[in-house]
């Protein structure tokens, strides 16, 4: 059980608050009593618009990427949040294998996961494909950083040794993986994709590598 003062201590901020923290969310609709709410600007909306809603739902702490009322400003937002997620969800207790590349990520992840299971290594797969043993199906290839941290924490609680997952270029670019210290990274062939998001071929390759 962690308290607000523990969480803030991890990133060098002094606090005396003994309020218990239940979880960490970046979607105001998922805030419950004792949540930490990450109020930051996203691609399609700005979480800072929902600070009052989060507080009304019982959030015990608001962390923001800008100076704003009722929130603690984190100048190096993603680095600070990464430290918090790693500690709160005890991410370093499991080995995470990431697979990236333009194509073949899903197949590679499935094959590796299957090989681990055949070798009696407890492996957990994060995937968009249904009906695979020891896996969870997610809407996004690479879930949001808070959702991803919770999934990995559940794998830890269920005594898995490895998590196998795909690392999409958009997931990398939007900092969803910043909190992970990957045990292995597998890079498939890189061509070009998602130029609607990355704009240039060089930027796409830079993110992947």
User: How far apart are alpha carbons 99 and 101 in whole angstroms?
Assistant: 7
Residue 198 has pLDDT above 50, yes or no: no
Beta strands across the sheet bearing 35-39: 23-25, 35-39, 61-64, 72-73
Hey, CA dihedral for 190, 192, 197, 200, is it positive or negative?
Answer: positive
Residue 47 has pLDDT above 50, yes or no: yes
The tens digit of pLDDT for each residue in 146-155 reads 999 999 999 9
Q: pLDDT band for position 203 (50/70/90)?
A: low
What is the mean predicted confidence (pLDDT) over 139-161? 97
| 91-208 CATH fold | 3.40.1190
Domain ranges of the chain: 4-88, 91-208
Q: pLDDT band for position 208 (50/70/90)?
A: very low
Q: What is the pLDDT of residue 200?
A: 61
Q: How far, in Å, are 16, 149, 154 from residue 6 at the CA level?
A: 9, 18, 21
| 4-88 CATH fold | 3.40.1390
Q: What is the pLDDT of residue 201?
A: 55
Mean pLDDT of all residues belonging to the chain: 92
Quick check: do 4-88 and 91-208 share a fold?
A: no
Residue whose structure tokens are 């890079």: 187
Q: What is the pLDDT of residue 106?
A: 93
The tens digit of pLDDT for each residue in 97-120 reads 999 988 889 999 999 999 999 999
User: How far apart are alpha carbons 45 and 67 in whole angstroms?
Assistant: 17
Q: pLDDT band for position 169 (50/70/90)?
A: confident
User: How far apart are alpha carbons 69 and 90 in whole angstroms?
Assistant: 30
């Amino acid at each position: 059980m962690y308290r607000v003062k523990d969480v803030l201590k991890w990133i060098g901020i002094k606090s005396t608050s003994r309020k218990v923290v239940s979880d960490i969310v970046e979607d105001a609709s998922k805030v419950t009593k004792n949540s930490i709410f990450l109020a930051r600007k996203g691609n399609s909306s700005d979480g800072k618009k929902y600070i009052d809603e989060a507080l009304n739902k019982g959030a015990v702490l608001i962390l923001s990427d800008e100076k704003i009322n009722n929130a603690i400003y984190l100048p190096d937002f993603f680095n600070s949040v990464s430290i918090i997620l790693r500690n709160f969800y005890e991410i370093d207790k499991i080995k995470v294998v990431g697979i990236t590349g333009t194509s073949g990520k899903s197949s590679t992840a499935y094959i590796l996961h299957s090989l681990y299971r055949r070798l009696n290594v407890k492996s957990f797969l994060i995937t968009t494909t249904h009906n695979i043993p020891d896996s969870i199906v997610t809407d996004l290839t690479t879930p949001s950083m808070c959702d991803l941290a919770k999934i990995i924490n559940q794998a830890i609680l269920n005594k898995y040794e490895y998590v196998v997952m795909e690392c999409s270029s958009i997931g990398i670019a939007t900092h969803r993986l910043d909190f992970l210290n990957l045990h292995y990274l597998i890079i498939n062939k890189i061509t070009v994709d998602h130029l609607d998001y990355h704009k240039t071929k060089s930027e796409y390759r830079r993110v992947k590598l």
